[in-house]
Structures are given as C-alpha cells and as structure tokens.
Amino acid sequence: MTTSRMRAEIGEQPAALDRTIGALLPRVPDVAALARETRQVLFIARGSSDNAAVYGRYLVETRAGRLGTLAAPSVATAYHRKLDLSGVLAVAISQSGKTEEIVQTMDWAADCGARTVAVTNGAGSPLAEAAQVALVTEAGDELAVPATKTYTTQLAALAVLAIGLGADVAADDLRRVPDEVAALIARTEAAAALPAIVDGLAGVPGAVVSGRGLAFGTALELALKIKEACYLHAMGLSYADLLHGPIAVVDDATPALLVAAGDGPTLPGTIALAERVRGARARAFAVGGGAGLAAASDAALPGPELPEWVTPLGLIVPGQILVENLARRLGVDPDVPRGLNKVTQTD
C-alpha cells in the first residue's frame, strides 16, 4: 500500500523537532525580556493550535507560576471590545501565520497594552512580522491537511516559551525529545495493540478521548484528528468533566481512549477511569500511562519515556499513527479529509 503523506510527515517529526529546538532555545533571552514586563499569559489560537495552547496554559501555570488563559477571539473581531491587557503576554499560535482572525486578535491585544509573541511555522508571515518576538518553528512544508509535525513543533516552541518565563524545568529534557520520538514511532508500529485498537475503533460510530492536566491538550488533539481524518464522532474531555455526567455515553458502542504521561499527579485518576470504563463493560484503550494504565486497559500503545512536562511532545505521536491507520482501514484518504483546507479563515 502506498505510504500516505500524513504517515511520511509523522516520520519527519524527529528531524523537525530537532531543528526547531535547536533554533528556538537561543531565543530564551528574548522571551525572558518580555516576561519581565508581564504577569500572565493569554493564548490566541484555533483548531490544532488551540490544543497546543491548552498544553501551553498548563505548562506555564504548573511550571512557571503564571496564570494562563485561552482567548476568545470574537471579543476582538466580532464584539470589538477593548480590554486592559497591560501586564499580559499575548501568545498567538498559527501554523501558517496567515489566519486573519489570529493576526487581528494579536494586533488587538497589542493595542490593548499586551506584549506579543507569535508561534508559527510561517517565517515572514503576517503573524511573525507583527509580533515583538516570533518563535518560528522548523517543521518544513506540511502537505497533508491534518497537522502532525507543525503541531508537535508548536509544542516544542511553547516549551521554549515556558523556559523563557522562568519554568522550573531542565532544557536537557527538551533536547531528548527528538530521539525519543524516533524510538516511539518504531515502538508504536511494532506494537500488537495497534491493529487491535484499529479493529476496536473501525466498527463503532465514535469514541470518548480523555486525559487531564498536561495531557489534556493531547486528548483534545487526538479527538480532533479522529473527527477530521476518520469521520468518527470523538468527544475530547478532561476525565474530571467526563465523570460529571458524560461518562454515561461510554458503552459497548462507544469506547474510551485514555491518554496519560508515565508519571505525574493525573496518572492515578486516569488508571481509575480505565477501571471504571471496563467495569461498565465498555472498552478502554490507552496511549501512554506506563504499565499501570496498560494493565487497566483492554489494549495500550506505548508513550514516550520523558518527564511529564515534555511528554505531550511525544504522546500525540502514537495517536497520529493510530488515526492514519484507522483512516486507511475505513477507506478514507487521511491526507485530504473532506471539507478541510490547510489554512482556515473564520470571521
């Protein structure tokens, strides 16, 4: 079978991450200069970039001690309301750097008194040109519509951002990511669980995808990929929100996909959720979470062997491989999902 462009770009991620980390770590002083003028972080994004922003929010709050929030662009672009954003660092995230709504919202934030950072794969793009500091990722051209390497390199840029904001993390952890992602791709494709999970998802109308904390953005991104590339209904939820009512939708026709780092404070709750799902006679499939989550699940894909703070840079990769395999199993071309374009413009 011909290799899809999506699968080829999944395989390009180790090199893309290595280039991006090497290019952006020297920009830490530039971020630190803006950090001295700000107190909190406002993330501006849509789509996969918004899921990257969720990771950025948890990272700056748990490791840099700064409040992080997600912007509502319509406040700027539809309601045209001016806010006091003095002391705010506005971080606008866009793979292309050409989404007008994101550029306009960053300009609005600057006009409201914010300092600005762009995270984009588009060198010379309107977003990069308008920001005070542009963290330009080195993903190279991405031809498949579903974001893979542009997403993981965004996460790398946000890890660099957190270091510049004074996060209590080790940059050497970030430098380990490219080699670990390369090893993880090989482990995932050799895993007996991969065809088992593909089989489990191929015959159902949808799934619940859940994680919490630093892994929550991964859950949202995996749910988005399942929807856009496989045309299945996938609900991305924090497991705390899932337990507040939507757990009722998990049954023999709606399995749960659970994502987690191999350690950290949210892992025990994820394991308990897997046990509850299986206790309700539904299937639980895992991505990451180590031996504990694997034992509590029907089938499990490996996660990266990385500290929790950088785990999301690798954790999505088995999910990407799963989605690409599932799309082909369902007879869908993962490179060109219906109704989608590489650059999406919104009002």
| Chain segment 298-329, per-residue pLDDT in tens | 999 999 999 999 999 999 999 999 999 999 99
Using alpha carbons only, give the angle 151, 49, 83 rounded to the nearest 5 degrees.
Answer: 155
**What CATH topology corresponds to 181-329?**
Rossmann fold (3.40.50)
Q: Which residue has the tokens 């899932």?
A: 242
pLDDT of residue 336: 86
10 Å Cβ neighbour count for 342? 15
Question: CB under 8 Å to 189, separation ≥6 — which residues?
Answer: 321
pLDDT per residue, tens digit, the chain (347 aa), is: 578 999 999 999 999 999 999 999 999 999 999 999 999 999 999 999 999 999 999 999 999 999 999 999 999 999 999 999 999 999 999 999 999 999 999 999 999 999 999 999 999 999 999 999 999 999 999 999 999 999 999 999 999 999 999 999 999 999 999 999 999 999 999 999 999 999 999 999 999 999 999 999 999 999 999 999 999 999 998 877 777 655 667 878 889 999 999 999 999 999 999 998 998 888 999 999 999 999 999 999 999 999 999 999 999 999 999 999 999 999 999 998 765 554 554 55
Which of 3.40.50.150, 3.40.50.2300, 3.40.50.10490, 3.30.70.580 would CATH assign to domain 5-175? 3.40.50.10490
- In contact, 48 and 181? CB cutoff 8 Å: no
167-173's contacts with Cβ under 8 Å and 24+ in sequence apart are: 167/59, 167/60, 167/63, 167/64, 167/309, 168/63, 168/64, 169/63, 169/307, 169/309, 169/310, 170/307, 171/25, 173/306, 173/307, 173/309, 173/310
pLDDT of residue 342: 46
Between CA 336 and CA 43 the distance in angstroms is: 28
Which of 191, 150, 221, 207 lies closest to 299, judged by CA?
Answer: 191
pLDDT of residue 107: 98
pLDDT of residue 60: 98
Between CA 317 and CA 119 the distance in angstroms is: 20
pLDDT of residue 252: 84
* Residue ranges of the chain assigned to CATH 3.40.50.10490: 5-175, 181-329
Between CA 15 and CA 149 the distance in angstroms is: 10
